[in-house]
Amino acid sequence: MGMVNRVAVAWLWLLMATLAGRPASAQISLVGEWSPRYHEDQPDRIPGPELGDYTGLPLTPGARLAADSWDAARLTLREHQCKVHISPYIYHGPLQVRIWEEKDPRTQQVIAIKNYVNTYEQERTIWMDDRPHPPPWAPHTWMGFSTGKWEGDILTVYTTHIKQEWIRRNGVPNSEKSSMIEHFIRHGNMMTHVVQWTDPVYLAEPLIRTEDFVLNDRDG
């Protein structure tokens, strides 16, 4: 081996050793208490939409028929008293969100990212350990089954197994075939939550929604 080749090999080994000794770059943290900002879609999110207002929703004919037939009095029935908002909708209304991580005690790898939503006291798990989604016949829940992965500094979440509830509070329904893709994007003390909601029964195309949150950097 010539002198030039030996020098090149030595530099290659030095570079590999240097890279191996560097710690893995950490993902941005979403941990903390987050409060929403309601300037976007405020009439829909706070007082609630008027009956028959389906503006901006890509509804199928079946969804429009179901919404036109809806009666808010059904919410007074006992079986509806504890009905909560499903995960694609719950971030769109009044709420506070707390986010934390659950880690393996030995490896310190993140197993799950947890969300606590104070509306209806919902706790949501976003699995980060590459586990598969359940089969289609598995039970559906209000929050659904969620798995996440980091794409750069963006947390992307895939959710299936969502119960039937509504897309808008004036009776526009969703089906149990709903699925959701989310992006949690942090910019300093602000976080943007982007939702792509797909429902082959009641949506003619995916519905896109966004919400903004601000980090609460002090207690009390």
Q: Is 85 contained in some domain?
A: yes
Q: Is 14 contained in some domain?
A: no
Q: How wide is the angle at C-alpha 85 spanned by C-alphas 75 and 192, nearest 5°?
A: 145
CB of 182 within 8 A of CB of 78? no
- 10 Å CB burial of residue 50 (0-12, 13-18, 19+) is exposed
Question: With bands split at pLDDT 50, 70 and 90, how would you rate the model's confidence at 210?
Answer: very high
Predicted TM-score (pTM) of the model is: 0.85
Q: Is residue 37 classed as helix, strand or coil in its secondary structure?
A: strand
- Predicted local distance difference test score (pLDDT) of residue 83: 80
Q: Is 87 contained in some domain?
A: yes
Q: Is 144 contained in some domain?
A: yes
What percentage of the chain carries pLDDT values higher than 90?
71
User: Cα(197)–Cα(207) distance, rounded to whole angstroms?
Assistant: 5
**DSSP single-letter state for residue 72:** G
User: Cα(92)–Cα(208) distance, rounded to whole angstroms?
Assistant: 12
Look at the chain and report how many structural domains it folds into: 1
- Predicted local distance difference test score (pLDDT) of residue 19: 45
CA-based nearest residue to 184, from 162, 210, 205, 202: 210
Domain coverage including residue 135: 30-215
Question: With bands split at pLDDT 50, 70 and 90, how would you rate the model's confidence at 30?
Answer: very high
- Predicted local distance difference test score (pLDDT) of residue 43: 87
